[in-house]
């Protein structure tokens, strides 16, 4: 049981020690997505303003044909995504890796997370944050495997 718990601890340490590098790469991708969507949103808002419309008014008048309805819905989705990603970027950009871990729910864009993971290459945790996260991961992995094994072996111990 101890060997399996140790293996779980090591796996947790290795996995969580990679969080600083992964989170940095995610934030870099997030920044690029925010920049791209900002340009689209500003262009739309400028066009609406020149026409004397607010953003919502411009979106409302875009409907009509099936094509226009799809274009309107696409624009609304892009603007919403820009606002959500920009809020996530603002919360993550200046945060240290340990702070980012406490804001893990801000890594909520599945497409960006998947593409970051697809290109991610593990890094050696040479920073203090990487070492701390490795320690947390070790404790978490050890505790998780110990809990699972303890629950699984409980009926066997009762018989003995």
Instruction: Report whether pLDDT(41) > 80.
Output: yes
Q: What pLDDT was estimated at residue 8?
A: 85
Q: What pLDDT does residue 9 have?
A: 84
Q: Where are the beta strands (DSSP E) in the chain?
A: none
d(CA 120, CA 118): 6
Cβ-based burial of 123 (10 A; exposed 0-12, middle 13-18, buried ≥19)? middle
The mean pLDDT value for 14-35 works out to: 91
Q: Backbone phi, then psi, for 30, in 5-degree steps?
A: -60, -40
* Cβ–Cβ under 8 Å, residues 1 and 149: yes
Q: How confident is the model at residue 11 (pLDDT cuts 50, 70, 90)?
A: confident
Residue pointed to by tokens 């934030």: 27
Per-residue pLDDT, 125: 62
CA distance 81 to 87: 10
pLDDT at 4 over 70: yes
Average pLDDT over residues 77-93: 96
How many residues in total does the chain contain?
Answer: 160
Mean residue pLDDT of the chain comes to: 89
* pLDDT in the model for residue 58: 95
Task: Specify the pTM.
Answer: 0.71
Higher-pLDDT residue of 65, 16: 65
Q: Which band of pLDDT confidence, cut at 50, 70 and 90, is reported for residue 5?
A: confident
Record the tokens describing residue 141, joined without a space: 């992995």
pLDDT for 160 equals 59
Q: What average pLDDT does the segment 5-14 reach?
A: 83
Do residues 18 and 136 touch, judged by C-beta distance below 8 A?
no
List Cα–Cα distances, 9 to 46, 104, 152, in angstroms: 54, 21, 18
Mean pLDDT is lowest, of 26-40, 55-69, 130-144, for 130-144
């Amino acid at each position: 049981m101890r060997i399996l718990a140790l293996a779980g601890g090591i796996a947790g340490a290795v996995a969580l020690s990679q969080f600083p590098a992964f989170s940095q790469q995610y934030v870099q991708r997030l920044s690029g997505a925010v920049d791209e969507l900002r340009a689209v949103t500003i262009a739309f808002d400028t066009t609406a303003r020149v026409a004397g419309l607010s953003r919502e008014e411009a979106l409302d008048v875009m409907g009509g044909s099936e094509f226009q309805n799809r274009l309107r819905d696409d624009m609304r989705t892009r603007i919403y995504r820009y606002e959500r990603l920009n809020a996530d970027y603002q919360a993550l950009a200046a945060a240290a890796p340990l702070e980012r871990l406490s804001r893990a729910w801000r890594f909520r864009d599945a497409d960006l997370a998947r593409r970051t993971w697809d290109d991610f290459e593990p890094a050696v945790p040479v920073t203090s944050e990487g070492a701390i996260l490795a320690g947390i991961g070790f404790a978490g992995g050890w505790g998780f495997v110990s809990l699972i094994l303890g629950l699984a072996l409980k009926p066997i111990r009762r018989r003995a």
